[in-house]
Amino acid sequence: MGATDWKRFLRTATPVAILVGMLTIAVRPLGLFLLLPLGIIWTIARYREQRPTRLRGGQGARMGALMAALSFATFLVPFLVDFSLSPAKYREQMIASVHEAAAKNPDPQVQQILQWFATPDGLITFAAIALVIILLVFLIIGMGSGALAVAVVKPRNQS
């Protein structure tokens, strides 16, 4: 089993991760659930062509997680710019989500918590929680795709 040449991997992964991150914004959720895994699998296959070595699933998972983090960063920057330029649009969407959730749950304590999410501080907290969840989804998909790529895609000189 060989060590991962991170510098070589990053040269291939960075442009693909940036493209995937931008496309994830444009064609969500297709970008996240289809383009991210395909980009990771393609990038690991390219890396293995350049450096034909045996990789373990854990190495592939780390490679996938790195690409997912780069893709998330690319996704995050335009999202935050849009969020800061048109906060009213996002505020309305989040308040509608909070009110919909409150209507589905009759528990007064839950309703009180959900109403707090409609306040300015609550909306910031809600947005931060949503971004953390999105990051986790990126990482889970990335790690799974990376491990799968190592298991399925073999270097040409390896049987």
Three-class secondary structure of residue 60 per DSSP = helix
At 46, the pLDDT band (50, 70, 90 cuts) reads: very high
Average pLDDT, the chain: 89
Residue 158 has a pLDDT of 54
Residue 159 has a pLDDT of 47
For 104-118, b where at least 16 C-beta lie within 10 A, e where not — what string? eeeeeeeeeebeebb
Tokens 């949503």 belong to residue: 130
* Higher per-residue pLDDT: 104 or 57: 57
At 35, the pLDDT band (50, 70, 90 cuts) reads: very high
| Sequence-separated (6 or more) residues with CB below 8 Å from residue 43 | 9, 12, 13, 16, 17, 63, 67
Residue range 67-104, pLDDT digits in tens: 999 999 999 998 889 888 887 888 888 788 877 877 88
Q: Residue 51 and residue 44: Cα distance in Å, rounded?
A: 10
Residue 95 has a pLDDT of 80
Say what percent of the chain tops pLDDT 90. Answer: 50
